Structure 1
Amino acid sequence: MDRPVPRLYISDLDGTLLADNAKLSQTSRRGLIRILEAGVPFTVASARSIVSIQHTLGDLPLRLPVIEINGAFITDYSTGRHLIVNDLPRDLVEMVYGYIDRFNLVPILSAFDGRRDRVYHSRLANPGMEWYYNERKGMNDNRLTPVESFPLIFDSHIVAFTVIDTRHKLIPLAERIQGGLADRLESHFFENPYSPGWWWLTIHDKSACKSRAVKIVAESGGFDLKQVVVFGDNLNDIKMFQTGCHPVAVANATDDLKRHAAEIIGDNNSDSVVRYILRANGLES
């Protein structure tokens, strides 16, 4: 009997592997441990940071690098050491900050200062920003670093701007970024599902994208892209679905993403990603 072709599985977190409460269910946790102990290659690709990924997934024995902040970092899960840093060049940092300031908005900057990760923040201008801060404070995130003036830290490796406000206030900035700088920047504009009414605009270098990171992780593991199965639910997964991998959308995914999927499985509250991998590898109990 022919052995199945080895596959690499890469899953988004929020809305895909995680349930609506932003947690990994005990059923999925037990299933992932079985998957990993059986030697099935698995990792995650998320908009979250390594601090948040570790806080959420805990002691799962992930041996492959994880993709964090939408591809801004490719990172060793157990140590938190960055293997790849896709930061913004200084001219783009200054340009993006100038636009944000011109629209009277307040950013949060994610960075690597050469020694450790930082989340630089100044005043918390609205409840959406307060939610962001309190969520990270609650997980003892030591990246939080107050600054009096953002230009003072522009020599750090800035990997992302996060701008949080109402949709109405963010639209002009989003249009400016997604229009004139689309050839140099990746950006994502979405409502925070855990803090309804507050929208986020995240801005990264063009090299910081899940699609590019998936290719790097696959190549480093010796996998052809046709051997890679990716799971997702939202717009920031579209390019990942277009890499030549086998794209699988959860039932709660956006219609736009489903149009790019080869398969649609159950929703994120039904442990669908883990059940799919268990079944595909003959590991169902």
Structure 2
Amino acid sequence: MELFISDLDGTLLNGNAEVTEFTRDTLNRLMAKGLNFTAATARTLASAGKILSGLDLKLPVILMNGVLIYDMAEKKYVKINSLSRKLCGLIISLSKGLGLEPFMYSVSDNQLSTRYERLISPAMKSFYNERREKYYKSFTQVSDLSRYIDNVIYFTFIAEKEKLVPLYDALKEN
């Protein structure tokens, strides 16, 4: 049995981050004839789900670089690879010491939550606004991320490389 998996950005999607009508119709026709096809992406369900909604996917999709596996037909996460509470605490502590502010993602009760403390740069504000406006993604501002470290799956840091390298160096053994 053959399996075909496609990335989204730069592969399956056009320049407007959309599946074209031709691609959608072709894939749906092939899947109806038995093609085993799914997608793998760094995106969350909020954006990937909207993009893939016109495809009759029978196989689960790989989200957030493999952190999550989601069954589009059953509308549920079938695999969640969460980080340990200890590692989350370390990441939050290190980020504060380095003056970095992350977006922290967690999954509970089949819902993805994104929390943050502060938007400290134009790039963070742009990331936040684009996802809220284009994909209707929900963000929750909290006073202390360390109070929400259960079921954490992902952190996103947006900063200049020279600010991120010390965090990378401190975490690479973990």
TM exceeding 0.5: yes
Cα deviations by residue, 1:23-65 (Å, 9 ceiling, x for unpaired): 2223222221222222201001111111211111222110101
Partner of 2:75: 80
Partner of 2:170: 176
Contact 2:46/2:136, CA 8 A, preserved across alignment: no
* Aligned pairs (5 A) from 1:131-280: 131-138=126-133, 139-142=135-138, 144-154=139-149, 156-178=150-172, 180-181=173-174
How far the C-alpha of 1:115 sits from its partner, in A, is 4.9
Cα deviations by residue, 1:174-223 (Å, 9 ceiling, x for unpaired): 23323x32xxxxxxxxxxxxxxxxxxxxxxxxxxxxxxxxxxxxxxxxxx
Query: Is 1:24 the counterpart of 2:19 in the alignment?
Result: yes
SS in 1 for 2:48: helix
Letter of the 2:79 partner, please give it.
I
* Aligned pairs (5 A) from 1:115-130: 115-130=110-125
Structure 1: gaps of 5 or more residues = 1-5, 182-285
TM-score (norm 1): 0.57
TM-score (norm 2): 0.91
Count of aligned residue pairs for this structure pair: 173
Partner of 2:49: 54
SS in 2 for 1:51: helix
Distance in 1 (CA, whole Å) between partners of 2:80 and 2:104 is 15
Which structure has the bigger radius of gyration? 1
Structure 1 ranges of 4+ moved more than 4 A = none
Distance 1:169 1:140, change over 3 A: same
Cα deviations by residue, 1:129-169 (Å, 9 ceiling, x for unpaired): 11221122112123x22211101111x20000110112222
Q: Which has the higher contact order (CA 8 A, sep 6+)?
A: 1
Distance in 1 (CA, whole Å) between partners of 2:110 and 2:3 is 31
RMSD: 1.6
